[in-house]
């Protein structure tokens, strides 16, 4: 006898009902922080983990499954075989070697390009309609690599880019002014890394443009103060890595936030790595770097035309050149 007796003859679920499947590739510190944030925020019906280490993968899957009584119902699966990712709406790639203390993100490049050759083609094979969200570093270059290897239109390949740097930036400004970071609108754009650009000229707090407010009130500030805040953003990741060995929680929230915007078609603007050629005077080749992008269910819907002064535009273009120089050396 069945445990439940149906009250009416069971109709099959409607084929139009949305069922959301997210795959996370790389079950390391970052992948697991992303996975657990996705679970607690109820963003997926199915969550898949893939990693090269079978035992670690199984252990992580069981550990998450054992939290079932405290979480919204999500089917959690894990396998070293990419077939398990079939039909994913979103594939988040975190697999890769990570930064050693003091190591620049760009140094990771060659190690991680080789890994991507093994990761991207099977993801594309099993989920030809998916959105690829790249997290491994150097994220801008690996987003370009994933775009090339996937053959996807550029709206479906996104790098987490400076979404995290911008959160660090908003936190520091909010801390300075003693307000919530959610009321601070501030973007870091360009490379996720040392050549990132802080867009001071467009920062607003509670709708008030900060720099013009200071000018109007004749409040003096040192340019150095601003530069130090940006420097603190850049040093942020290095500092966390130096202290605890890796970064995880902030990137977990940052990527889950992107997953929500994409899969729930929120059309929010996030600074993420997108194909940047043709925007803000960036020319010279296909380059991915972070720009304020409008995101929705089909991926990147457009790039916002935020105000940048001449110096910010120049710095952004130079950030693009830094990345282009490296991508130019790759054979994909």
The binding site for ligand 6V0 (CB under 6 A) comprises: 25-31, 50-53, 94-96, 98-99, 115, 118-119, 135-137, 139, 160, 164, 192, 246-247, 251
Nearer to ligand 6V0, 192 or 260 (CB): 192
Name which of 93, 83, 79, 87 is nearest 132 in CA terms. 93
Note whether 135 and 161 are within 8 A (CB): no
CA 232 to chain centre: 20
Both structure tokens of 264 = 């729930």
Position with the least CB separation from ligand 6V0: 28
How many residues in total does the chain contain?
A: 332
Note whether 298 and 191 are within 8 A (CB): no
Q: How far apart are CA 272 and CA 148, in angstroms?
A: 18
Nearer to ligand 6V0, 115 or 262 (CB): 115
CA 249 to chain centre: 13
Nearer to ligand 6V0, 137 or 202 (CB): 137
Q: How far is the CB of 212 from ligand 6V0 (least distance, A)?
A: 31
Q: How far is the CB of 147 from ligand 6V0 (least distance, A)?
A: 16
DSSP per-residue string spanning 149-198: HH---GGGEEE-TTHHHHHHHHHHHHHHHTS-GGGEE--EEB-SSTT-EE
Name which of 188, 102, 99 is nearest 138 in CA terms. 99
Both structure tokens of 73 = 């119902």
Nearer to ligand 6V0, 74 or 248 (CB): 248
Nearer to ligand 6V0, 82 or 200 (CB): 82
Active site residue 19: no
Q: In angstroms, what is the C-alpha Rg of the chain?
A: 21
Active-site residue, from 66, 176, 192, 270: 192
| Residues with active-site annotation | 192
């Amino acid at each position: 006898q069945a445990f439940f007796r149906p009250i009416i003859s069971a109709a099959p679920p409607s084929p139009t009902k949305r069922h959301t499947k997210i795959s996370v590739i790389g079950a390391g510190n970052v992948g697991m922080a992303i996975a657990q944030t996705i679970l607690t925020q109820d963003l997926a019906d199915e969550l898949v983990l893939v990693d090269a280490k079978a035992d670690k993968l199984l252990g992580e899957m069981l550990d998450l499954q054992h939290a079932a009584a405290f979480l919204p119902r999500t089917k959690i699966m894990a396998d070293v075989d990419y077939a398990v990712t079939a039909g994913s709406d979103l594939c988040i790639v975190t697999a890769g070697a990570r930064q050693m203390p003091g190591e620049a993100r760009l140094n990771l490049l060659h190690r991680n390009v080789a890994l991507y050759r093994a990761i991207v083609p099977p993801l594309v094979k099993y989920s030809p309609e998916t959105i690829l969200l790249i997290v491994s570093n150097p994220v801008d270059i690996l987003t370009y690599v994933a775009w090339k290897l996937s053959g996807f239109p550029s709206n479906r390949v996104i790098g987490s880019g400076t979404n995290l740097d911008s959160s660090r930036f908003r936190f520091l400004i909010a801390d300075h002014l003693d307000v919530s970071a959610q009321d601070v609108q501030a973007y870091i754009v360009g490379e996720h890394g040392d050549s990132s650009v802080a867009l001071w000229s467009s920062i607003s707090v509670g709708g008030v443009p900060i720099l013009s407010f200071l000018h109007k009130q004749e409040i003096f500030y040192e340019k150095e103060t601003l530069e130090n805040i940006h420097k603190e953003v850049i040093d942020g990741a290095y500092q966390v890595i130096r202290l605890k060995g890796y970064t995880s929680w902030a990137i977990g929230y940052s990527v889950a936030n992107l997953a929500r915007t994409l899969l729930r078609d929120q059309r929010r603007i996030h600074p993420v790595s997108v194909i940047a050629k043709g925007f803000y005077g960036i020319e010279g080749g296909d380059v991915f770097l972070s720009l304020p992008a409008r995101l929705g269910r089909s991926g990147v819907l457009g790039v916002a035309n935020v105000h940048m002064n001449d110096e910010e535009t120049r710095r952004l273009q130079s950030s693009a050149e830094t990345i282009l120089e490296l991508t130019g050396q790759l054979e994909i």
